[in-house]
Amino acid sequence: MESSLEQTLQDGKLFRQLNSLIVAHLRDNNLNQAASAVARATMTPLNVEAPPNRLLDLVAKGLAVEKDEVLRGISSSVLHDLSASIPAPRTGAVDFSSVQETKGSSKSFPKHETRHLSEHKNIARCARFSPDGRFVATGSSDTSIKLFEVAKIKQMMVPDARDAPVRPVIRTFYDHLLPINDLDFHPQSTVIISGAKDHTIKFFDFSKITAKRAFRVIQDTHNVRSVSFHPSGDFILAGTDHPIAHLYDVNTFQCYLSANVPEIGANGAINQVRYSTTGSMYVTASKDGAIRLWDGITANCVHSIVGAHGTAEATSAIFTKDQKFILSCGKDSSVKLWEVGTGRLVKQYLGATHTQLRCQAVFNDTEEFILSIDETSNEIVVWDALTAEYVARWPSNHVGAPRWLEHSPTESAFVSCGTDRSIRYWKEIF
């Protein structure tokens, strides 16, 4: 009897914790109506406190444990080896909720040193860091993918290193027929995906030393311009020449299209698609200049910011870590910060010309700074995210402006990819 009562009390406590996490999760993802409904039904305070993305973290950990031994057929010993010494992610230091009222002096962006890492045989078109920051991959017009180990890059950059020359490229993959447009890493396993002009998304397992070819292929109907893994790793979004993102189930390869879309003109090809931190939303940046926000569960279009970059192409769009804002870049030479809940323009970052290349604007790892390209001066431009003042302009050291910038999610370092075929790594000087 006593043990039964104790069990009932424990169950009640667990249900209260679960309800609190659900309410906090819905509220923090701007699903206020749903959060209010659950709060009322479960008698949970709407303002309950919970660490950001706590529910998602717990679910992800549970699923990872459940699927550990079957992840893409990769042995647990390999996974253990590749997941060793993963650095804890650095949390964002900027409160964007008060960004419009921000006044005062800008912060100084730390000085960086740069090193030429490698060259493709043709234009280096894109790059992506792994979620833990331990690897970075680059894709090229030569149809190859190069995978770098960041620890080896750092070793290569140590002054007066007396050991044998370090080779930071640990894998090279060849399996596309046309130029590669975008890359992404699986959030839990040792898999890279690539989207290319040959209408395919290909899966590469970098735990296998001798593998040069893809072990799985999704055949799309269009040029695949952008790819993004869902945080669970079970779904992939593909932005293509088609105006609606293609959602693929990783296990079945079944493709889904949104049934509820706004009217999109003939020039609605998607330049970039990116999931939010929790996967509850995704954003598309289109050639027609629009930024569109989509519900990650229903795939309904929540906001269409038509003419976000005038009549010029919107070339990139990414979420802040708290999922409350979107940073976009366009060929109108502007970088803009938008509020997710209202679609309202909050900040503009001006002073860098980009009208030709499909370049990105990216946050640094703490979201205190924004980086992009000035094509005319061939410089990397850095703004203070809160004040919108540019705080640094550095020669890119590429021959011609870089085509792509990608910042590490875990430390003060980034890569630049050039039309000169080269890849450069930039890291903070301490």
**What are the pLDDT tens digits along the chain (430 aa)?**
455 556 655 666 777 788 889 988 888 877 888 888 887 777 788 888 888 778 877 887 776 655 544 444 433 333 333 333 333 444 454 666 665 555 567 889 999 999 999 989 999 999 999 999 999 999 999 999 999 999 999 998 887 666 667 888 999 999 999 999 999 999 999 999 999 999 999 999 999 888 889 999 999 999 999 999 999 999 999 999 999 999 999 989 999 998 878 888 778 899 999 999 999 999 999 999 999 999 998 899 999 999 999 999 999 999 999 999 999 999 999 999 999 989 999 999 999 999 998 889 999 999 999 999 999 999 999 999 999 999 999 999 999 899 999 999 999 999 999 999 999 999 998 8
Domain borders along the chain are: 1-50, 96-428
Q: What is the pLDDT of residue 86?
A: 33
Report the chain's C-alpha Rg in angstroms. Answer: 22
Q: What is the pLDDT of residue 73?
A: 43
Looking at this protein, which amino acid is placed at residue 306?
V
Q: What is the pLDDT of residue 53?
A: 77
Q: In what order do the strands lie in the sheet with 422-428?
A: 112-119, 422-428, 413-418, 402-407
Q: Right CATH number for 96-428 from 3.30.930.10, 2.130.10.10, 3.90.550.10, 3.40.50.150?
A: 2.130.10.10
Q: What is the pLDDT of residue 158?
A: 84
Alpha carbon of residue 68 to chain centroid = 24
**For residue 387, what is the DSSP state?**
T
Q: What is the pLDDT of residue 72?
A: 44
Looking at this protein, which amino acid is placed at residue 107?
K
In the numeric block, the tokens 């490698």 are attached to 118
Q: How many helices (H) and strands (E) does the chain have?
A: 5, 28
- Dihedral sign for Cα 32, 38, 39, 41, please: positive
Q: How far is CA 209 from CA 79, 166, 278, 359, in A?
A: 14, 17, 32, 32
Q: What is the pLDDT of residue 84?
A: 37
Q: What is the pLDDT of residue 62?
A: 72
Q: How far is CA 418 from CA 127, 287, 376, in A?
A: 11, 22, 14
**The two three-digit tokens of residue 85, written as one number:** 């010494």
Question: Which residues, in sequence order, are CB contacts of 286 under 8 Å at separation 6+?
Answer: 243, 264, 267, 268, 269, 270, 271, 292, 313, 314
